[in-house]
Amino acid sequence: MRRPGTTTTALACVVVLAACGGGTDDDAAAPAPSSSSPAEDVNPVIDDDFPDPDVLEVDGTYYAYGTNGNLRNVRVARSTDLEEWELLEDALPDLPRWVIPGKTWAPEVTELDDGSYALYFTATNYDPYAQCVGVATADAPEGPFTVVGEEMLVCPQEQGGAIDASTFTDTDGTRYLLWKNDGNAVGVDTWLHLAPLAPDGLSLTGEPERLLKQDQDWEGHLVEAPTLVERDGTYVLLYSANDYGGEQYAVGYATADAVAGPYTKADEPLLTTDATDGRFIGPGGQDVVTAPDGTDRLVFHSWYGDTSYRGVNVLPLEWDDGRPVVVVP
């Protein structure tokens, strides 16, 4: 679960191939992790408690958004190179009366067609008492955002609520919202869901599709934090799984030929504590962003300070026939 856990930077560049096996016998065997070409590792790029990072690029400037902390409901930072970051003021300074303060988690910001911005956030309702996904809007990527409406956008109470919203725009321009039902809070399965969004980003225009749930040993009792990208005609759904509070938390992925699936999970997780020899403890809450040089980066949090806070890391992300490969120190 994306829960509360500030700013320096850099890119690490020693290649470690994350396990990239598929879920069928026809898939290529997963390559064993390997390393080469040592380079300076200056992660964490945000050396402060900044969990569940979401990164948005606007006209050459990057904005990172994180779970509440340091008396801010939604943390936000700004960079031009994904390396040096400036912490800004609260992106969501005012919460509606129907939201319990201090529990605004896992923000996601996207730019809309009219040039405005939508912020999707996880918060806890007073009534019904559940974690759910709300939406706010602003004219600038740093905010301030204003919550829209008098209730949450997605709140399936019987499924435990909804958390960890993210957005995806398909090649045909259709916008989608993804989230996790918080089933582990009420003793039911956790699923990653997808539903089409209205062009204004303020409502769903179709029924949710279930994409995948926890069913591999390494995932423990939950999957969460969906991130959907499309590369070379393949839809790649990255996600985090297991208990966020320690080294068992990790990043996995699944692939599909269509946006709604079916998705086939890789045989092994993409990024783990063990695969990085303990360099990144409990990696998760990931996002994918294109760097200034045109190549992809994986942005994620991991534990620092003897697991007292979660800083932000940035690593190169390569692709092997539609499958992600993380470059780690």
| Catalytic residue of the set 90, 182, 224, 247 | 224
Instruction: Write the burial class of residue 234 (CB in 10 Å: 0-12 exposed, 13-18 middle, 19+ buried).
Output: middle
8 Å CB contact between 107 and 147: no
pLDDT for res 233: 95
* First-to-final CA distance of the chain: 26
> How does residue 127 score in pLDDT terms, banded at 50, 70 and 90?
confident
Q: What is the pLDDT of residues 185-234, one digit of tens each?
A: 999 999 999 999 999 999 999 999 999 999 999 999 999 999 999 999 99
> How does residue 1 score in pLDDT terms, banded at 50, 70 and 90?
low
pLDDT at 17 over 90: no
Could you give the CA distance from residue 96 to residue 80 in angstroms, rounded to a whole number?
32
Share of the chain above pLDDT 90, in %: 84
* Length of the chain (residues): 329
pLDDT for res 21: 38
Q: List strands edge to edge, sheet with 105-111.
A: 105-111, 117-124, 131-138, 146-147
Q: What is the pLDDT of residues 50-64, one digit of tens each?
A: 999 999 999 999 999
> How does residue 239 score in pLDDT terms, banded at 50, 70 and 90?
very high
- Per the prediction, the chain carries an average pLDDT of 90
8 Å CB contact between 291 and 307: no
Is 57 marked active-site?
no
In this structure, the number of other CB atoms found within 10 A of the CB of residue 60 comes to 8
The predicted model gives 35-56 an average pLDDT of 83
> How does residue 328 score in pLDDT terms, banded at 50, 70 and 90?
confident
| Catalytic residue of the set 47, 48, 49, 52 | 52
Q: List strands edge to edge, sheet with 54-58.
A: 54-58, 61-66, 75-79, 86-87
Q: What is the pLDDT of residues 154-197, one digit of tens each?
A: 999 999 999 999 999 999 999 999 999 999 999 999 999 999 99
In this structure, the number of other CB atoms found within 10 A of the CB of residue 308 comes to 9
pLDDT at 25 over 90: no
The predicted model gives 26-50 an average pLDDT of 62
pLDDT for res 257: 98
CA dihedral 251→252→257→263, nearest 10 degrees, is -130
> How does residue 39 score in pLDDT terms, banded at 50, 70 and 90?
low
Angle at CA of residue 16, ends 256 and 60, nearest 5°: 70
> How does residue 7 score in pLDDT terms, banded at 50, 70 and 90?
very low
pLDDT at 147 over 90: yes
pLDDT for res 27: 41
Domains of the chain: 54-326 (2.115.10.20)
Q: What are phi and psi of 218, to 5 degrees?
A: -65, -20
The predicted model gives 260-271 an average pLDDT of 98
Q: What is the pLDDT of residues 278-308, one digit of tens each?
A: 999 999 999 999 999 999 999 999 999 989 9
In this structure, the number of other CB atoms found within 10 A of the CB of residue 320 comes to 11
pLDDT for res 9: 33
pLDDT for res 329: 74
pLDDT for res 4: 42
Is 219 marked active-site?
no
pLDDT at 117 over 80: yes
